[in-house]
Structure 1
Amino acid sequence: MSRRAATLAVASVLVLVLALVGSLMPVPYVTLMPGPTRNTLAENAKGQAIITIDGRRTYPTEGSLNFTTVTYRGGPGGRIDLLTALRGWLDGDTAVVPEETIFPEDESPEEVDEQNTRQMTDSQQDAEAAALHELGVPISTRVVVDSVQKGRPADGKLKPEDEITAVNGTAITKVDQVSKVMDGVRPGQTVTLTVRRGGKELQQRITTAKGPDGGAVVGVVLAGAYKFPFKIDVNIGDIGGPSAGLIFSLAIIDKLTPGALTGGKFIAGTGTITPDGEVGPIGGIEQKMIAARRAGATVFLTPKDNCAAAVEARPDGLRLVRADTLATARQALVALTTGKGDVPACPS
């Protein structure tokens, strides 16, 4: 073999080795893929109804009303390699996004998971409130302790999930009412909190400290919650995020009203929900539509702000129905079922 040929052979081997090593190097990207989809009118893997309602009459229904999810690979501590990222870029069902899109630099993977779990819990509560508002069922609000700051005056006296019913004798049903009462308290003064814990009411006297803004604080984070006139449970297991809110609300409405809201059709969808019924955008719309169509859905409820991306990536056989609010989504399903009325489409 000539010297030139030997040099070329060695160079080729080096290039191949470098390419192979480079392809296996971790990269700061995450792949998003179609995830599982669940029928909220049916049972979960444990044989429990996904949505159960106690203390109110419910009605039989039929069809499918599925929420959709996205799964991911990668992230800090488990990064994908370059070869996996390249395969994702070439796969029409997969999206490859920068790692910080899913895992902000200032949050650990555990914090992200905890946030997703909290978002799902909040989404379920908002979905319940939105459904009952839509049906005209009165509900009231309450104030609960979300967390207690260590080393602050409330540490050891208040616990997460404590309900604050009064501050210095003033009845409390909203978080801003607490702030108004505390505005009249100076650091070092004692406040009396009326707390409901485990069905019992107790009084907690707490000496306040000086907060960052100079005002009096006890060291808790408060959150607004609802008092529902009957019990609603959503049993979906280990799934996080807020994007199933719209579907949860529609499923609750379906169970609380006569007839099948789906008309027996296979409906899927996505969208966040506010307590007053506004539908918000979500991420991963392309993967969620793919998951829905693979499961058998023929109609997909789509937040209006996701419509443009949804139209570009719509799978064959999937009809996109625009959902601006819970009320319009409900009306659209009735129109689909009866053939009467307009069905808003993406785009409009």
Structure 2
Amino acid sequence: MPRRTVTMLASTLVLIALLCVGALTKVPYAEMSPGPTVNTLSSPGGKPVLQISGHKTYPTSGHLNMVTVRVTQADYRMNIVEAVYGWLAHDDVVVPHDTLYPNGQTEQQSSQENAEEFSQSQESAKVAALKELHIPVVSHVNVASVLKNSPAEGKLHAGDLIEAVDGTKVTRPDQVAGLVTRHKPGQDVVFTVVPAKTAAAAKKAGKEPSGSRKVTVKTALSHDSGKSRAIVGIAAGTDHTFPFDIDIKLADVGGPSAGMMFSLGLIDELTPGSLTGGKFVAGTGTIDDKGTVGPIGGIAMKMIGARDAGARYFLAPSDNCKEAAADTPKGLTLVRVKNLSDAKASVDKIRTGDTAGLPSCSAG
């Protein structure tokens, strides 16, 4: 056999061996890639993403697309070949596994966390949209969660509305902890609450909750890393009563990053005329009850997904601007937003064609 043939055969065998080793060798990395993008004004599978009843709505046109990132699952371990391919591919990003799943987080835990964040983002999107339109929303302090084996377990329940603590009316979640920690461990705290089931029924009927009762809970000494203090073992949050029914339906999506686009979609449906004027706008960003737009992860992947879907304008949180401007896909105009009012004003300019004044992002 000629020497050249032997050399080529040996090289081929070595390459095959290296590929086999690479395919079998697992590395602590995960992959992110552009995920699906959905028009919040659309009806996937015949069901509207935004469902409003009890209030007049108006026809819409164009696109207000939320965007997603596709990631490898928590229990999946990439091999060297996949990692190298991901590093070389422009539309994929390979990151340390712990970046996506910190502290050994399982797939189930990640899915639960994403579902909770998505639910909270929907609530905040509704509140922010209605406040932007000057439609009153009633807020209540509630029991967001109850710590297992804590003094409050079995006495207070997630969803209970907290009207007062020791007779002092509360209007903000942070007031609850302050009133509890006035006590010494072992002392009683009296909560005035509307039970969760009663509160849920009133919310569904669009009525103010009533039927409060007093619940006494004995405080205990804290055992966390903070300063020693009296606790009862609850986390306080905020619940809202809306003047009409708003439901957001979108399957197989989690996390908080679609909040801003849900708010814009609601504003479009609740106001006359088309907010976009038929233009294709996409964007991302968390939103809180006050309409503040917050940063998200994977913005590079989300911009690629938006551009590939047909978007020409992309609304990006100001805190993501530097990263986004450094790698903006060709054909996509990046627009900086700090809050919902900014976002709405920018979409107004896009509709009218007055795009020269759009706030931009800088890579510097």
Which residue of 1 is the match for residue 321 of structure 2? 307
Q: Pick from 348, 356, 360 the counterpart of residue 334 of structure 1.
A: 348
Which residue of 1 is the match for residue 117 of structure 2? 119
Q: Does 1:202 align with 2:216?
A: no
Q: Does 1:23 align with 2:54?
A: no
**Aligned to 1:105, what secondary structure does the other structure show?**
helix
Which residue of 1 is the match for residue 236 of structure 2? 222
Q: Pick from 273, 280, 284 the counterpart of residue 266 of structure 1.
A: 280
Deviations 1:149-185 (A, max 9, x none): 2222211122222222222232222112222322333
2:180 and 2:232 in contact (8 A); partners too = no
More moved, 303-312 vs 6-15: 6-15
Which residue of 1 is the match for residue 202 of structure 2? none
Deviations 1:33-92 (A, max 9, x none): 1101111111133x22111223332222111111000001253x2112111111111211
Cα drift, residue 13 of structure 1: 4.5
Q: Structure 1's 8 and 255: CA in aligned 2 closer, same or farther, altered over 3 A? A: closer
Q: Does 1:347 align with 2:362?
A: yes
Cα drift, residue 94 of structure 1: 0.7
2:141 and 2:172 in contact (8 A); partners too = yes
**Aligned to 1:20, what secondary structure does the other structure show?**
helix
Distance, in Å, in 1 between the alignment partners of 2:15 and 2:307 is: 43
More moved, 57-66 vs 130-139: 130-139
Cα drift, residue 201 of structure 1: 3.5
Structure 2: which amino acid aligns with 1:210? L
Show structure 1 runs of 4+ deviating over 4 A: 5-16
1:141 and 1:174 in contact (8 A); partners too = no
Deviations 1:76-111 (A, max 9, x none): x21121111111112111111111110112533332
Distance, in Å, in 1 between the alignment partners of 2:326 and 2:219 is: 56
What's the RMSD between the two structures over aligned residues?
2.6
**Aligned to 2:90, what secondary structure does the other structure show?**
coil
Q: Structure 1's 158 and 16: CA in aligned 2 closer, same or farther, altered over 3 A? A: same
Q: Pick from 134, 138, 158 the counterpart of residue 140 of structure 1.
A: 138
Deviations 1:203-223 (A, max 9, x none): 322222222344332221222
Seq. identity, %: 43
Q: Structure 1's 9 and 315: CA in aligned 2 closer, same or farther, altered over 3 A? A: closer
Which residue of 2 is the match for residue 276 of structure 1? 290
Q: How does 1:85-100 map onto structure 2 within 5 Å?
A: 85-100=83-98
**Aligned to 1:313, what secondary structure does the other structure show?**
coil
2:39 and 2:63 in contact (8 A); partners too = yes
Cα drift, residue 188 of structure 1: 2.1
Structure 2: which amino acid aligns with 1:201? S
1:187 and 1:208 in contact (8 A); partners too = yes
Q: Structure 1's 208 and 297: CA in aligned 2 closer, same or farther, altered over 3 A? A: same
Distance, in Å, in 2 between the alignment partners of 1:13 and 1:344 is: 57
More moved, 139-148 vs 89-98: 139-148
**Aligned to 2:77, what secondary structure does the other structure show?**
coil
Cα drift, residue 310 of structure 1: 2.6
Q: Does 1:79 align with 2:77?
A: yes
- Structure 1's unaligned 5+ residue stretches are none
Q: Structure 1's 187 and 93: CA in aligned 2 closer, same or farther, altered over 3 A? A: same
Q: Does 1:48 align with 2:47?
A: yes
Distance, in Å, in 1 between the alignment partners of 2:11 and 2:89 is: 32
Distance, in Å, in 1 between the alignment partners of 2:10 and 2:281 is: 60
**Aligned to 1:253, what secondary structure does the other structure show?**
helix
Cα drift, residue 20 of structure 1: 1.7
**Aligned to 2:243, what secondary structure does the other structure show?**
coil
Cα drift, residue 287 of structure 1: 1.3
Q: How does 1:142-291 map onto structure 2 within 5 Å?
A: 142-196=140-194, 197-199=196-198, 201-212=212-223, 213-291=227-305
More moved, 287-296 vs 17-26: 17-26
2:190 and 2:215 in contact (8 A); partners too = yes
Distance, in Å, in 1 between the alignment partners of 2:144 and 2:55 is: 29
More moved, 124-133 vs 310-319: 310-319
Deviations 1:205-245 (A, max 9, x none): 22222223443322212222333333322111231111111
Distance, in Å, in 2 between the alignment partners of 1:11 and 1:270 is: 49
**TM-score, normalised on structure 1?**
0.89
Cα drift, residue 7 of structure 1: 12
- Structure 2's unaligned 5+ residue stretches are 199-210
**Aligned to 2:175, what secondary structure does the other structure show?**
helix
Q: Structure 1's 15 and 57: CA in aligned 2 closer, same or farther, altered over 3 A? A: closer
